[in-house]
Amino acid sequence: MNKIIITLTALLALSCSQDKPTAKKETETKNTSKPNIIVVLTDDQGWADVGFNGATDIPTPNLDQMAGEGVIFSNGYVSHPYCSPSRAGLLTGRFQARFGHDCNMPYNTENDETVGTPLSEIMISEALKEQGYRTSAIGKWHVGDHPSLHPPKHGFDHWFGFPGGGMNYWGISKGPLQTIFRNGVKVPEEELNYLTDDFTNEAIDFISKKDDKPFFMYLAYNAPHGPDHAVEKYLEETKHIEYAGRSIYGAMVNAVDNGVGRIDSTLIANNLKDNTIVVFLSDNGGRGEHADNRPNRGYKGMLFEGGIKVPFFIRWPNKLEGNQVYTNMVSSLDLFPSFLEAAGVNPTSQKQLDGKSLWPYILNENNNKPHDLLFWRSVGGYEYAVRKGDFKIYKSATKEKTLLFNLKTDAYERHDIANENPELLAELEAEYKKWDAKNIAPGWLDPHIPNCIKGQKRWEADRKKATFKTANKNSHRSKR
Ligand SMILES: [Ca+2]
């Protein structure tokens, strides 16, 4: 057995709370036919906010079961620490800096067709459509506000969701970016109950349609991104969490888990489970409040591990054995070439792709690492990071320094070893420059830089406040 594949213990022999029909293998689609593909993307979910990564407070029984039936990535990264650019990378299979998609779309203006992932970029949906797939995008879009950049223009046959970066969970319309559309037509608000459930229902409808074609579904829940809205059914599941904010956040995660479980039951009921690839991941590290990124430092927006390392698994019963953890680093950019290969296309035929097909690695056919190096660039290099093996540099704007960490001995990135290792620092800086030479400047800017500066100032002020001595010091002492 490959030493980098570790068989999971009973930890992952987790039971599922749902009753599921037993799959009848003999009626399954033949192994040789093109697999269906579902990407479940969550929004701002922390690394440790799933049971399969150690959460003990938020119940995610369905995700845990499915992760246990596939391969969990313990060093799974996205290509950007926040929403829009990360999605642009995932959907195109390219470092989004290649086409200047370094920032979220500006919030305060009406954006035109020049702001977002341009149509000249090929998305997974388009490549799979060429291979005979029917394609669906459900949930949050956020890679192009303008109608000329919406999912139907990027190769999706079916679209149900909202164009912008966030929205209330009740489906109440507020301008064109926060309105639920189905194939470009506004969905009446009375048809919507709770978006997480609404997205699940739409996904089940799409999967259940009888069709000879295989399908590709990009199911991008906006949960557990703010605003913090939940319904009683899910709040009931997290009522043991005493910290109210996390109990609501946990309910939002539980709603996703419930949805994914219902989708899995649908796959089983339609004899599709064995030949359907299901990938689950978050679009970036957990949000600053209520999420848990431990054992990683930092959160969404930062290039510490907490901003870019995400809960991530892949399941394909026809090909992949379950109970595996793959520990080498992989990227969300690897999904596009992996899907192409699964659909029977040589992934190297698409020269623009930056990722690698993961099948040879996770099927134990190739014992090398998929990546020697991974790179991150935020807002045109305002911050950047490079990971090579166990080492990582992080040019942190807020810390005003390029930090160097050994992730093998210091998973939490507590000890900056840059000063003691100038040669290694210089080597990784040179790798960044070489990689960045192929990128272009950001096509537009967002408020990330002022937000980072504000966040750092608030952090410093809070810590300083903690040192203020109060006049009651002596009286407090005398009481003891
Ligand atoms: Ca996000």
pLDDT tens-digit series, residues 10-32? 344 343 333 334 443 444 444 46
Average pLDDT taken over every residue of the chain: 92
Q: Which residues partner with 181 through β-bridges? A: 161, 186
By CB atoms closer than 10 A (0-12, 13-18, 19+), residue 226 is: middle
Tokens of 241: 């969490």
Note whether 421 and 404 are within 8 A (CB): yes
Q: Which residue has the tokens 């900056």?
A: 416
Chain-centroid distance of CA 413 in Å reads 21
Q: State the average pLDDT over residues 445-474.
A: 89
Cα(474) to ligand 1 centroid in Å equals: 48
Cα(74) to ligand 1 centroid in Å equals: 19
Domain definitions of the chain by residue range? 34-368, 374-465
Instruction: Label residue 475 by pLDDT band (50, 70, 90).
Output: low
Q: State the average pLDDT over residues 418-432.
A: 98
Residues contacting 240, CB < 8 A, separation 6+: 57, 247
Say which amino acid occupies 381.
Answer: G
Cα(270) to ligand 1 centroid in Å equals: 32
Report which of 426, 422, 329 is spatially closest to residue 373, judged by C-alpha positions.
329
Q: Write the DSSP assignment of 225-259 as a string of letters.
A: SSS----HHHHGGGTT--SHHHHHHHHHHHHHHHH
How many Å from the N-terminal Cα to the C-terminal Cα in the chain?
Answer: 61
Cα(475) to ligand 1 centroid in Å equals: 48
Residues contacting 208, CB < 8 A, separation 6+: 266, 270
pLDDT at 58: 98
Cα(389) to ligand 1 centroid in Å equals: 26
Tokens of 389: 């093996």
Q: CATH: 1.10.150.130, 3.30.1330.40, 3.30.1120.10, 3.90.25.10. Which one for 374-465?
A: 3.30.1120.10
Which protein residues have their CB within 5 A of the ion that is ligand 1?
43-44, 83, 283-284
pLDDT at 32: 62
pTM of the model: 0.92
Cα(118) to ligand 1 centroid in Å equals: 20
The backbone torsions φ and ψ at residue 306, rounded to the nearest 5 degrees and listed phi first, read -65, -15
Distance CA 317, CA 69 (A): 7
Sign of the C-alpha dihedral, residues 157, 158, 163, 166?
negative
| The pairing of beta strand 158-162 with beta strand 181-182 | antiparallel
pLDDT at 476: 53
Report which of 332, 317, 455 is spatially closest to residue 28, judged by C-alpha positions.
317
Cα(102) to ligand 1 centroid in Å equals: 14
The catalytic residue among 80, 101, 103, 142 is 142
Cα(145) to ligand 1 centroid in Å equals: 16
Note whether 336 and 127 are within 8 A (CB): yes
Torsion of CA 4, 82, 400, 306, to 10 degrees: -40
Instruction: Label residue 380 by pLDDT band (50, 70, 90).
Output: very high
pLDDT at 470: 77
Please confirm, yes or no, whether 83 is among the known catalytic residues. Answer: yes
Helix ranges, 279-404 (H): 305-308, 335-342, 359-362
Cα(82) to ligand 1 centroid in Å equals: 5
Cα(286) to ligand 1 centroid in Å equals: 8
Note whether 263 and 207 are within 8 A (CB): yes
Distance CA 124, CA 154 (A): 9
Cα(301) to ligand 1 centroid in Å equals: 9
User: Considering only the top CATH level, what class is 34-368?
Assistant: alpha beta
pLDDT at 162: 97
Pick the residue with more confidence: 32 or 40? Answer: 40
Distance CA 476, CA 26 (A): 75
Report which of 462, 472, 388 is spatially closest to residue 424, judged by C-alpha positions.
388
pLDDT tens-digit series, residues 101-144? 999 998 877 789 999 999 999 999 999 999 999 999 999 999 99
Report which of 280, 223, 227, 281 is spatially closest to residue 252, judged by C-alpha positions.
223
CA angle 402, 407, 408 (to 5 degrees): 150
Q: Write the DSSP assignment of 98-131 as a string of letters.
A: GGT--SPPPSSS---TTSBS-TTSPPHHHHHHHT
Percent of all residues in the chain with a pLDDT value above 90, rounded to a whole number: 89
The catalytic residue among 83, 101, 154, 371 is 83
Helix ranges, 154-226 (H): 195-208
